[in-house]
Amino acid sequence: MIQEGQTNSIFRCSKAISLFYSGMILSLGFYSCSDKHREPVPDVSKIPVEFKVVRFEQEIAKLDTTRLESALNDLLKRYPAFAKLYFEHILSITENADSLRPGFVQSINQFLRDSETVELNKMVQSEFGDERILSKDLKRSLQFMKYYFPNEKEPVFYTLISNFSYGNFIFQDSKDRDGIGIGLDFFLGQAFDYKKIDPKNPAFSNYLNRCFNKDHLLKKTWEAWLEDRLGTPENGRFLDYLMLRGKKLYTLTKILPEIPDTVLFEYTPTQLEWCNHNRVEMWAHFLNSNLLYSTEMMKFNKLVNPSPNSPGMPEQAPGQTGSYMGYEIIRSYMKRNPQKTLLDLWKITDNQTLLNDSKFKPRNE
């Protein structure tokens, strides 16, 4: 058994590489470092979609403080579900936004005048004031969603500033339509030092805040949608988590076909190369350690959830190596079953059969 942090000979060392990949996501004219195994991309340019982005942080910033109560009332009427969610749960300013009590109105006035809030909004507008990722790229991803899931209703996208409380989330916006919140303050990249928010809070650890940039915005936005659609494993085995994570990652490559693998897996280029060179060894480790059918979450949590490392593997191994291998398994299954749609894949609940039918045999690059 490989001990955590120990380099074992069955794993291959990754060569140091340096690739510039910032800002290269989801623009057709840009070079994509997407993996060479991706299937041809369908033309979705003619697919009609109901595309709506509400720049809620801009709506908040332009509220007329001389008539704040009526301005808030108008905001609540235009965006009833999201405004209530924002004021009652995200900012936790009031328990009942509809009441427009004096204390609530006063709190909003203070919020709008708060120097840190004003400065944060300036940074967000500087980064996303006229950003194509929130228009052309987001709309194009919606067209891919409709291409693969024609019966799904298009969600409404809401951008916001949560003061670093919420990133991406899904909610019921209306009777027949979901809303997806996009916390833009979680995508400022190098323009903001996230560690200074709370150095002791693991939510802002380097292995996580490295992904707090524009490149990861669409991926994390659609992850919220996929979490809602695919849920959590019905059984608690490592195998079930592998298959679920693999389904989500594979679906993301269809909705976001130009997504680089570094963004898909949230790896650095060096970490990605290490995984690509050690697929056989990682799979052997899962099997030899009797992990595949384990239900002890503590044993495999870091293999399927964000983590700085994968316990039991060399220190070069990043976290979520189980998710990486789950994607490889799903990709193998779909390659062997080209008649299957994404919806067909989603409906498969017998993960042992899914693994068997994939005929998965890992190969190192």
**Over the stretch 271-318, which tens digit does the pLDDT of each residue have?**
999 999 999 999 999 999 999 999 999 999 999 999 999 999 999 999
pLDDT at residue 38, rounded to an integer: 73
pLDDT band, very low/low/confident/very high, at 255 (cuts 50, 70, 90): very high
Residue 34 pLDDT exceeds 80: no
The least confident of 2-11, 73-82, 98-107, 150-159 is 2-11
Q: Is the model's pLDDT at 103 over the cut of 60? A: yes
Between CA 56 and CA 161 the distance in angstroms is 8
Cβ partners under 8 Å of residue 110, min gap 6 = none
As beta bridge partners, residue 92 has none
Q: Are 333 and 307 in contact (CB under 8 A)?
A: no
The mean per-residue pLDDT over the stretch 223-240 comes to 93
Tokens at residue 164, please?
């670093």
Question: Please, what is the average pLDDT of the chain?
Answer: 90
- Work out the number of other CB atoms within 10 angstroms of the CB of residue 336: 12
15-19, 309-313, 343-347 — which is least confidently predicted? 15-19
Q: Is the pLDDT confidence value at 94 over 50?
A: yes
Please tell me the predicted confidence (pLDDT) of residue 6. 36
pLDDT band, residue 1 (cuts 50/70/90): very low
Q: Where exactly are the structural domains of the chain?
A: 53-230, 238-358
pTM: 0.89
pLDDT range class, residue 142, cuts 50, 70, 90: very high
Q: Token pair of 273, please?
A: 């190369």
Helices (H), the chain: 56-61, 68-78, 80-85, 102-113, 115-128, 136-148, 206-209, 217-230, 238-255, 261-264, 269-277, 279-288, 297-304, 321-336, 342-347, 351-358
